[in-house]
Chains A and B, each alone.
Chain A
Amino acid sequence: MSTLAQKKGFGAVLWDYLTTVDHKKIAILYLIAGGFFFLLGGLEAMFIRIQLAVPNNDFVSAGLYNEILTMHGTTMIFLAAMPLIFAFMNAVMPLQIGARDVAFPFLNSLGFWLFFFGGVFLNLSWFLGGAPDAGWTSYASLSIASEGHGIDFYALGLQISGAGTLIGGINFLVTIINMRAPGMTYMRMPMFTWATFVTSALILFAFPALTVGLFLLIFDRMFGSNFFDPAMGGNTIIWEHFFWIFGHPEVYILVLPAFGIFSEIFAIFSRKRLFGYSSMVFATVLIGFLGFMVWAHHMFTTGMGPIANAIFAVATMAIAVPTGIKIFNWLFTMWGGSITFTTPMLWAVAFIPSFVAGGVTGVMLASAAQDYQYHDSYFVVAHFHYVIVGGVVFALFAGAHLYWPKMFGTMLNEFLGKITFVLFFIGFHLTFFIQHFLGLWGMPRRIFTFLPGQGLETANMVSTVGAFFMAAAVIIMLINIVITSVKNEKVGNDPWGDGRTLEWAIPSPPPFYNFKQLPLVRGLDAYWLEKMEGKKGMSPAEPLGDIHMPNNSFIPFVISLGLFVAAFGAMYRAEHSWGIPVLIFGMLITLGSMFVRSVKDDHGYHIHKEDLEDNNDKGVKA
């Protein structure tokens, strides 16, 4: 028996996860943390819908409502959707390209802990004098005027977690460029890997804009600068540009991986290769590119003038073309296939009409002149929930069911999964479809209440009822997870039976070194090709040899903790004398641990050939 599979106590497991640099365990960390924040954001959403169920409601007060709506948006985008997507990227992408880990396992861990501490910092605002209240967009005039420390929590928290995201994105880029298995050319990469690749490039170019914007906001609020104060020569519109130069690509950062997950699902459960693979790749890259050209369509009513508005309107409409290509390619992937409706497939099939509905309202919003009516009304709220819930959240549910066996070695219950799907699907459309009309009837977004007699009562009530369906669906999903984990029935390499890509060629969950021998990739859908030729697994591309592995490290946790401490110092600097010392102390922790990391050689260790052969005898196949 090797040392690799000993039973550990709780403390040891905890320490293992705090120090892990294994992409599969980091994926689980992202899943747990992202899932937690998703529940938090969902709770905030429920408060919003309860408050708006009837006119003149006083379930929450006006100021508190603004905090809830801000935290709902911020949490869902930055702390739930992105980390959950990162969870699947981490869990699946290295397996799909036949790699033993990501390029920089240490940075992978650092990225997670930065995100985690940033998210915790942001949410501590609830207990320390109030959450941010200027919306997730945090437009400058309001965010500068906002009293208390809410906006400071927003700016500092997002700065820390944003650094984590940026690190993660760079890591994935390098991994995909350098660590593909022999034979895995770019045009043989699975669609989800392609999506990860393009998304990471978007992160690389989009997040710096947010970082700069947030730094200016931090300087203005905490260090007395005047970037956003018109009276002192500043300009608030600059914030809008910074925010949306980041914020629009962010939409694609979320939705492209969702497209990737669905592409895998359509192919697997139709038993057909993806229709028009190369045009799918092309469309993904094109969407990523155009995503940077259209940010100002969020600002049609800011007063940029007709020339800018017209240019950005037409550019935005252009994005509909590659997105349309994708929709039809998915439909024709199923065409002529042999479709089985598993839970992941149900989500994928339901995604098509839901996302098309969000897409067509997107084209309507792109048309500048009519956008003056839609902008900042409930029509926009309906639109982006159709895109983000109908696209991204559907993909997260689908991905959770699809990859659960690969991540945990056991299948989620299909029956409960389908109940979750039905409830969520009904609730989603019930909640958001009617909101298109609320907007057209004249209801602005981000209002804490509405007055009777304006024709908005019934529709708001319908919307609230729908929200409860979605809440019920999420609760059933949680029950499903608990039941599944307790039962823990182990499954084999390819539990869905129709896996096409490399991750399904290795055990579930994979051994910590993933591939005992790197596989030889002979085409798109590498594992499927081998199966069709009657082989059981991949042919190895290398002889069995020692595997070099990185050591676990506690340093990423400490680096992130240092920034977390420093952020408190920066925030309270103006009113408490301990602010500056804490700021310096926190930075010392961070810089000190980076110094230790730099000077201490860590060469990792080797798994010896003999141990790998040993495992083979015990029936663990790689």
Chain B
Amino acid sequence: MKRLAKWRLFSLFAMMALILSACSGKPYLSTLNPAGEVAQTQFDLMVLSTAIMVGVIAVVTVIFFIVVFKFRRKDDRIPKQVEGSHKLEIIWTVIPILLLLILAVPTVSATFKLADVSPMEKKNEEGKTDALVVNVRANLYWWEFEYPNQEIITGQELVVPTDEKVYFNLIASDVKHSFWIPAVGGKLDTNTDNVNKFWLKFDGEKAAEADNFFYGKCAELCGPSHALMDFKVKAVPRDQFDQWVTAMQDVKEPKKAETDLAQAGQEVFNNSCIGCHAVTPANTAPEAARLAPNLTNFGDRDRIAGILDHTEEDLKDWLRDPETFKPGNKMTGTYGELTEEQLDALTEYLMGLKVTEQ
């Protein structure tokens, strides 16, 4: 008998594992594949609350089926008119309170843990923090990531080291957005009024499973292209992150184009694009003047405009008519019509904007 129970339990777990693996979504996107301390904390809470709730549902279901099958009308009798039962009513008041307490305690503790950003307030002699801080600025359909300690700015693709806490300052420059990397941790809104702060930790092993590449989303309705306001997160080991930072910092002047075609492209860029897009990472312009993503390392990125594949063809399509890909974006109509030659040249130039040698 005991053995049977054990076997049953085992098959139950096997079934659940099977269902969970089929239902856990993509490792680079799903909250059910937690890839960091924050997401793990939240996942554990999900499991705890689901377990409690499944218990509640089981009780309700049992009573429900007994009632529905046992008490069907068979004859024309009038059942006894029961007023109620104090004993029963106390039971189903007290037990839920206890269950909720079991959930409330870890909830409150996790809420405070996830909001603890004290290390980002501690400044050293240079006026910088020892912790890694990223200033995130959300704009109509693109993201800016500024590393104040490293004094570099990039856009659309967040680069972070794994296995350490990364602290974020979040703000929006036009309308409210919300910063969400589902696999790594819950979201926090980017308000227009104030800076919101929180931290995330990117797990190295999980990152490797996801090819060091997570999807980020805007989670607050912000306009027609809200659905397309994706960003990407490159989570790499600390030494690679340091290399990247150094390579970025080395770009003091706009990178010179190497081929003739690229030089022609740079000319087009300087005439039409540089007003909004910077190509040096130490961007000293004030936020209000940084109207579009910084393109210093555009050639290294994995997506164009956060959504298109990183190919020359896609880049040309995008430059020809951004409106078809991101309705309502702020780039459409800010530069004149580009000829096919200009597009070729510009593409060559942009794709050459790399900071890492590969």
Report which A residues bind B (CB closer than 8 A). Answer: 61-63, 65-66, 134-135, 139, 141-142, 145, 230, 235-237, 270-273, 275-279, 301-303, 305-306, 309-310, 313-314, 317-318, 320-321, 324-325, 327-329, 331-332, 334-341, 349, 352-353, 356-357, 360-361, 363-364, 367-373, 375-377, 437, 440-442, 444-451, 454-455, 532
Contacts and interface: CB of A to CB of B under 8 A. Distances in A.
A279 B115 contact: no
B34 to A, nearest CB: 9
Interface of B: 23, 25-26, 29-32, 39, 41-42, 45-46, 49-50, 53, 56-57, 60-61, 63-64, 66-68, 71-75, 77-85, 88-89, 92-93, 96-97, 100, 103-104, 107-108, 110-115, 170, 172, 174-176, 178, 180, 182-183, 185-189, 191-194, 196-197, 215, 217-228, 230, 307, 327-328
Contact of B215 (A321, A328, A437, A442): A442
B115 A306 contact: yes
A584 B64 CA distance: 60
B77 A338 contact: yes
Interface of B, helix, strand, loop or mixed by DSSP: mixed
Contacts of A451: 230, 307
A62 B108 contact: no
Contact of A303 (B100, B103, B180, B194): B194
A275 B84 CA distance: 5
Given A352-B60, A376-B220, A441-B26, A363 B53 contact: yes
Given A334-B67, A367-B107, A372-B185, A437 B191 contact: no
Residue among A270, A273, A368 with the highest chain B CB neighbour number at 10 A: A368
Given A334-B71, A441-B26, A270 B31 contact: no
Contacts, number: 285
A360 B57 contact: yes
Contacts of B328: 62-63
A363 B30 contact: no
B73 A338 contact: yes
Contact of B224 (A62, A352, A373): A62
Contacts of A353: 60-61, 64
A454 B215 contact: yes
A558 B186 CA distance: 51
Given A325-B92, A353-B60, A356-B57, A139 B176 contact: yes
8 contacts: A139-B220, A236-B192, A271-B73, A331-B67, A373-B42, A373-B186, A448-B226, A450-B227
A149 to B, nearest CB: 17
A141 B79 contact: no
A418 to B, nearest CB: 15
B83 A441 contact: no
A467 to B, nearest CB: 19
B93 A368 contact: no
A334 B82 CA distance: 11
Contacts of B63: 328, 331, 335
B10 to A, nearest CB: 25
Contact of A441 (B31, B78, B114): B31
Contacts of A448: 224, 226-227
A328 B49 contact: no
B224 A63 contact: yes
A19 B60 CA distance: 49
A442 B176 contact: no
Contact of A317 (B26, B100, B226): B100
A364 B53 contact: yes
Contact of B25 (A273, A329, A444, A455): A455
Given A338-B79, A376-B178, A455-B30, A356 B25 contact: no
A364 B49 contact: yes
A144 to B, nearest CB: 8
A442 B217 contact: yes
Given A270-B71, A302-B191, A454 B64 contact: no
A360 B59 CA distance: 13
Nearest to A364: B49
Given A336-B79, A370-B42, A62 B189 contact: no
Contacts of A455: 25-26, 29-30
Nearest to B54: A360
Given A306-B111, A367-B104, A370-B107, 10 more contacts: A270-B71, A271-B73, A321-B93, A334-B67, A338-B77, A340-B72, A353-B64, A369-B111, A375-B187, A442-B26
Given A139-B176, A145-B175, A376-B187, A367 B45 contact: yes
A237 B92 contact: no
A363 B99 CA distance: 11
Contact of A360 (B53, B186, B227): B53
A87 B223 CA distance: 36
Contacts of B174: 141, 145
Contacts of A368: 107, 111
B32 A441 contact: yes
Nearest to A338: B73
Contact of A279 (B64, B89, B215): B89
Contacts of A327: 60
Contacts of A317: 100, 103-104
